[in-house]
């Protein structure tokens, strides 16, 4: 769609680096500041799909911004300003080479491992007799490596320390922050009639060595939500709970013969389907935050973003 932003190639004042992720374009300004543009790209099965989804970037950027503000009393974060609905400007940090994944329920990757007979995930034991989507007695932390190229891999606390990826002192603090952030996210989700099922957090250190929360938080791309209403009945009946995430895109791809495997062709997304995905993301925003989504002007979205960034940097 012409009114979605699939990539940016800005030349910003004092720009020193540019990094293109699956969804985010990140510009380094000088030596200590980042400008993160959340595009409308959508990825699934570690593949970026060809079509952009109008307003998706705005949805993710604004959800993350609001949750960063709502958790800044727990851990300091990288955010300094949001000069555009798709943009966050913040302090540059040195990221830890691990992602802190926390799971409150046996679903997704954890369930697939469990179903295949494994009772240990990232060094964390999982009890016998559980069913898919059942709540753990207490949330478990199942870290992954943060790969520069290729897939992230499961890793245990012991392996992280043995490989020197994070010092023991810092890792203990990362676990503490992860549990506290998940508890806050769970509480906020409950107020909206939702269950925060699982999520991931990324951390880094600033120039003074302080641990800082970076990247996104509690968005439907990084988290899974169930609806509280009907959850118990569906589990009792062996049914999948109604969920709020981008899982519907993955299911559409699977139904159309694509799971990111070699030799598979990405199915074409019609304009109608792209618009339906856009509507779903807006619906996610309004459910998660409990407020009306205000659409930004996307008549020339790239120009709007660039002008807002330039205005902020000049000030």
Rounded Cα gap, residues 221 and 43, in angstroms: 9
CA-to-CA separations, 218 to 10, 159, 251, in angstroms, rounded: 28, 26, 21
| pLDDT at residue 149, as a whole number | 55
Mean pLDDT of 220-247: 92
In the predicted model, is pLDDT for residue 196 greater than 90? yes
Under the banding of pLDDT at 50, 70 and 90, the label for residue 245 is confident
Does domain 96-244 sit in CATH 3.30.470.20?
yes
How far the first Cα of the chain sits from its last, in Å, is 33
Rounded Cα gap, residues 75 and 67, in angstroms: 12
| pLDDT at residue 285, as a whole number | 95
In the predicted model, is pLDDT for residue 2 greater than 60? no
| pLDDT at residue 148, as a whole number | 60
Asked if residues 89 and 12 have their Cβ atoms less than 8 Å apart, the reply is no
Give a three-class secondary structure readout of the chain: CCCCCCCCCCCCCCEEEEEECCCEEEEEECCCEEEEEECCCCEECCEECCCCCCCHHHHHHHHHHHHHHHCCCCCCECEEEEEECCEEEEECCEECCEEEEEEEECCHHHHHHHHCCCCEECCEECCCCCCCCCEEEEEEECCEECCCCCCCCECCHHHHHHCCCCCHHHHHHHHHHHHHHHHHHHHHHHHCCEEEEEEEEEEEECCCCCEEEECCCCCCCCCEEEECCCHHHHHHCCCCCCEECCHHHHHHHHHCCCCCCCCCCCCCCCHHHHHHHHHHHHHHHHHHHCCCCCCCCCCCHHHHHHHHHHHHHHC
Under the banding of pLDDT at 50, 70 and 90, the label for residue 243 is confident
Under the banding of pLDDT at 50, 70 and 90, the label for residue 119 is very high
Under the banding of pLDDT at 50, 70 and 90, the label for residue 150 is low
In the predicted model, is pLDDT for residue 294 greater than 80? yes
Global confidence as pTM:
0.91
Mean pLDDT of 266-293: 94
In the predicted model, is pLDDT for residue 259 greater than 70? yes
| pLDDT at residue 126, as a whole number | 98
Under the banding of pLDDT at 50, 70 and 90, the label for residue 151 is low
Rounded Cα gap, residues 118 and 304, in angstroms: 50
Average pLDDT across the chain, whole number: 94
In the predicted model, is pLDDT for residue 37 greater than 80? yes
The pLDDT tens digits for 102-115 are 999 999 899 999 99
Tally of CB atoms within 10 A around 298: 20
Mean pLDDT of 215-227: 93
Under the banding of pLDDT at 50, 70 and 90, the label for residue 276 is very high
In the predicted model, is pLDDT for residue 1 greater than 50? no
In the predicted model, is pLDDT for residue 237 greater than 80? yes
In the predicted model, is pLDDT for residue 5 greater than 90? yes
Beta bridge partners of 195: 226
Q: Which of 38, 143, 28, 37 is nearest to 92 (CA)?
A: 28
| pLDDT at residue 30, as a whole number | 96
């Amino acid at each position: 769609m012409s009114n979605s932003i699939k990539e940016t190639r800005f030349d910003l004042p004092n720009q020193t680096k540019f990094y293109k992720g699956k969804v985010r374009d990140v510009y380094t300004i000088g030596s200590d500041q980042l400008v993160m543009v959340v595009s409308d790209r959508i990825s699934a099965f570690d593949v970026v799909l060809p079509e952009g989804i109008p307003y998706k970037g705005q949805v993710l950027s604004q959800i993350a911004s609001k949750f960063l503000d709502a958790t800044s009393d727990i851990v300091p974060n990288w955010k300094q300003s949001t000069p555009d609905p798709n943009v966050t400007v913040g302090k540059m940090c040195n990221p830890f080479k691990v992602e802190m994944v926390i799971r409150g329920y046996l679903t997704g990757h954890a369930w697939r491992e469990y179903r295949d007979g494994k009772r240990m995930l990232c060094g964390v034991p999982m009890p016998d007799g559980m069913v898919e989507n059942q709540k753990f007695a207490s949330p478990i932390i199942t870290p992954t490596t943060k790969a520069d190229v290729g897939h992230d891999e499961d890793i245990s606390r012991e392996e992280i320390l043995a490989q020197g990826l994070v010092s023991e002192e810092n890792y203990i603090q990362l676990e503490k922050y992860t549990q506290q952030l998940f508890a806050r996210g769970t509480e906020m989700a409950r107020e909206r009639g939702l269950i925060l099922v699982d999520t991931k957090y990324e951390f880094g250190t600033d120039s003074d060595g302080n641990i800082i929360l970076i990247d996104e938080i509690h968005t439907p791309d990084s988290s899974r939500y169930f609806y509280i209403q009907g959850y118990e009945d569906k589990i009792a009946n062996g049914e999948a709970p109604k969920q709020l995430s981008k899982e519907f895109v993955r299911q559409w791809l699977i139904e159309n013969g694509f799971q990111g495997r070699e030799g598979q062709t990405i199915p074409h997304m019609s304009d109608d389907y792209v618009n339906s995905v856009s509507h779903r993301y807006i619906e996610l925003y309004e459910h998660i935050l409990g407020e009306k989504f205000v659409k930004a002007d996307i008549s020339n979205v790239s120009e709007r973003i660039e002008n807002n960034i330039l205005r902020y940097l000049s000030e």
